[in-house]
């Protein structure tokens, strides 16, 4: 349960103002069909996070528990710093084709997640916890918890969020999780 809750809360807060959330906003404004966008975002996130989780599990097996805790702790602290730099949506990423809302969302979300902080967090969390299902479920639910309101409520909702405060909260969460893993590593 710990793996699920930490994965969910870490990714949900980190996703606020992230490029995939901005992409969800653009797609919602373009297509005005929320359910296919939600389905596309879910499928793309699940695929991306399963792949990231598998990489994390593989990496976790190669490391000793002390090194693994140290690496996860350092990566979570790096995520805290990265979270303080808000993403911007590139012009190129905001363009959509005439394809269906589902297919466009599926492709755009999958590409936007490559190397994104939530995907890297999924790698680190999967390496740290032995329960891949709990980590991937948590990170995927966290992504959806952050993106579904944006998809349904669109631009009016996005402008009312205190994004700066959310970024600070996400950074604090990553910093706290990182500190726990550093203490567990017994290196410091």
Reported as a single tens digit per residue, the pLDDT across 3-39 is 999 999 999 988 887 778 878 887 887 787 899 999 9
| Residue 114 three-state SS | coil
For 32, left (φ over 0), alpha (ψ -120 to 50), or beta?
Answer: left
Sign of the torsion angle spanned by Cα atoms 74, 79, 85, 90: positive
Count of domains observed in the chain: 1
Give the predicted TM-score (pTM) of the model. 0.74
Q: pLDDT digits over 47-65, tens only? A: 999 999 999 999 888 888 8
Range of the domain at 97: 2-185
| Residue 33 three-state SS | coil
């Amino acid at each position: 349960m710990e793996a699920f809750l930490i994965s969910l809360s870490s990714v949900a807060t980190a996703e606020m103002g992230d490029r995939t959330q901005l992409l969800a906003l653009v797609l919602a404004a373009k297509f005005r069909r929320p359910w296919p966008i939600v389905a596309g975002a879910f499928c793309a996130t699940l695929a991306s996070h399963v792949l990231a989780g598998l990489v994390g599990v593989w990496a976790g097996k190669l490391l000793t528990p002390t090194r693994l805790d140290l690496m996860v702790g350092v990566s979570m602290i790096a995520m805290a710093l990265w979270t303080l730099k808000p993403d911007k949506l590139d012009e190129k990423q905001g363009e959509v084709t005439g394809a269906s809302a589902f297919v466009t969302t599926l492709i755009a979300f999958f590409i936007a997640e490559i190397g994104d902080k939530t995907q890297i967090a999924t790698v680190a969390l999967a390496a740290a916890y032995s329960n891949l299902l709990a980590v991937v479920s948590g990170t995927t639910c966290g992504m959806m918890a952050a993106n579904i309101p944006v998809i349904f409520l669109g631009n009016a909702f996005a402008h009312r969020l205190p994004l700066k405060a959310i970024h600070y909260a996400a950074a604090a969460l990553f910093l706290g999780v990182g500190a726990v893993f550093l203490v567990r590593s017994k290196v410091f």
